[in-house]
Amino acid sequence: MIKKCSIVTLLMVVFTAIGCKDQKVTNQETANASEEKNFPNIVLIYTDDLGYGDISPYGAIGLQTPHLDSLASESILFQNAYATAATCTPSRYSLLTGNYAWRREGTGVAKGDASLLIDTAATTLPSLLNSAGYATGIVGKWHLGLGGEYGPDWNGKIAPGPLEIGFDYSYIIPATGDRVPCVFVENHTIVDLDPNDPITVNYTEKVGDWPTGTENPELLKMKPSQGHDNTIVNGISRIGWMTGGRDALWDDETIAQRLVGKSTDFIASNKSESFFLYLSTHDIHVPRVPNRMFQGKSAMGPRGDAILQLDWTVGEIMSLLKEQRLLDNTIVIFSSDNGPVLDDGYYDQARELNGDHRPAGDFRGGKYSALEGGSRIPLIVRWPDGKGKGTVSDAMVSQVDLLKSFGHLVGADTIQKEVIDSQNRLAVLMGDDKVGRNSLVQESFQGPLSYVEGTWKYIAPHDGPKMVPWGPKIDTGFRTGPQLYNLEDDPGEQNNLADKNSERAEEMGEKLAVLLKDGFTNKLEVDVKQY
């Protein structure tokens, strides 16, 4: 077990390490350090489809999120933070692996029966922390595939999965709330599955005789859009078909409470040692079916109510950490996997009741988009003992940087060479580096098209639809000519400067081309020194 010491002492050690960044730390030195220090606990609350402007610390108009306000008042609030992609699967892949998802084929939005997307031999954020002595757990949405080449065996041992990439414990939603199977998986098995009622899942054709949204619309309590009209579970039609496993089906109205409960259990069971909890909420992804205590509490319908439920989740976790006397030794991180979307599969009046609320803040676009609204996200980091309390940072940082940053925190500076995109930005996360990254790549739903360097952003020419084609009414940012924006002067990306500043546009386009020279399977050939 890692011995306890003052978090202040640990941070002083980290600052010294940052100042001596050219020195290598050996495995033995890391092991010796872990015996002398109690590394801080890390709680990462990772939300779903929450936009930059959806919560009151970032200026939300339509509602207030008091628990997040409280967290932000004790934290560093980042105004220039990015997810790596404008959709969920690739962002989550990058968060855990330290690499852009477009380097690996098949990392677009995953089907509910996809096989595991992360190589079990790869260095991951949980495996790195686990090797440093952390107890590691994931609770909530997964959406990175399960099982081997042919996908998961739903009625047997579901592996490989989170436990094979570094987590000690997992209690997950296999994919998303709008995809079958609508069950929880704990470690390697479906929770409460009756072996006499086996589950069958299919994403190609209907299986079994369960009603569907197409065939039985009279059974629906929420009208679907955009193809969410397959098997009905709890009065809501989903993507994909399933049958069986009735005792294992989740209750949509209590998902948030279930995830908070399992997070509570994990923290309580591991409070005597350093732990990493990845709480990946279902909120505010569709279908938005918040608990009854939140229904109708906002003026924005189910989407607004789901944001209030998310805020409650944050409050519950913070209260638990305080009750367990863990706040003085716990780093709390709050962020989102991509930008916002209103209509994303169900007619729940999200658009009609949005009012003056601006889910993406001042940014254009949203989920799926190459524009800033697709991947500019909220990031709040609370450090123990008030480090950076109540401050705002404009430093550029990406979620892909968490792996090497926390690797540095725990002394694991020697990280496998396959981790090429993550950068050690611990000084940024602590609020000491006010600049951060020089550049990063943003991935839209049709690939990595955007390159940000300093205050400039370049979007490569792409002959794709101008609006997300299946209905969300989001500007994709796709145009047939190059786009160049000065984000400092034009955060809404309204004034294309590619013609006026053609040299800069050409230079940034060339840099993006170098990064993407092997397309979606660029394998370890990038000179990371250039950025």
C-alpha span between 477 and 54 (Å, rounded)? 21
C-alpha span between 1 and 9 (Å, rounded)? 18
Q: Which amino acid is at 510?
A: E
Closest of 251, 230, 250 to residue 240, by C-alpha = 230
Contacts of 68 (CB under 8 A, 6+ apart): 55, 56, 57, 311, 314, 334, 380
What's residue 531's pLDDT? 23
460, 444 contact by CB (below 8 A): no
Q: What letters, b where the CB count within 10 A reaches 16 and e where it falls short, cover 43-66? A: bbbbbbbbbbbbbbbbebebbebe
List phi, psi (to 5°) of 444: -90, 180
Closest of 98, 97, 93, 123 to residue 108, by C-alpha = 93
- What is the pTM assigned to this prediction? 0.93
Q: CA distances (Å), 371 to each of 69, 83, 453, 475, 488, in order?
A: 27, 12, 14, 8, 14
Q: Which helix (H) or strand (E) holds 65?
A: none
Give the residues of the chain that fall short of pLDDT 50: 1-6, 8-9, 12-37, 520-531
pLDDT, tens digit (0-9, with 9 covering 90-100), for 101-142: 999 999 999 999 999 999 999 999 999 999 999 999 999 999
C-alpha span between 68 and 132 (Å, rounded)? 30
300, 55 contact by CB (below 8 A): no
pLDDT, tens digit (0-9, with 9 covering 90-100), for 308-367: 999 999 999 999 999 999 999 999 999 999 999 999 999 999 999 999 999 999 999 999
Q: Is 206 helix (H, G, I), strand (E, B) or coil?
A: coil
Q: Using CA atoms of 419, 421, 427, 433 in order, give the dihedral in degrees to the nearest 10.
A: 160
Length of the chain: 531
For 30, how many CA atoms within 13 A lie in the half-sphere containing its CB?
20
What's residue 338's pLDDT? 99
What fold, for 41-199+244-437? Alkaline Phosphatase, subunit A (3.40.720)
What's residue 412's pLDDT? 86
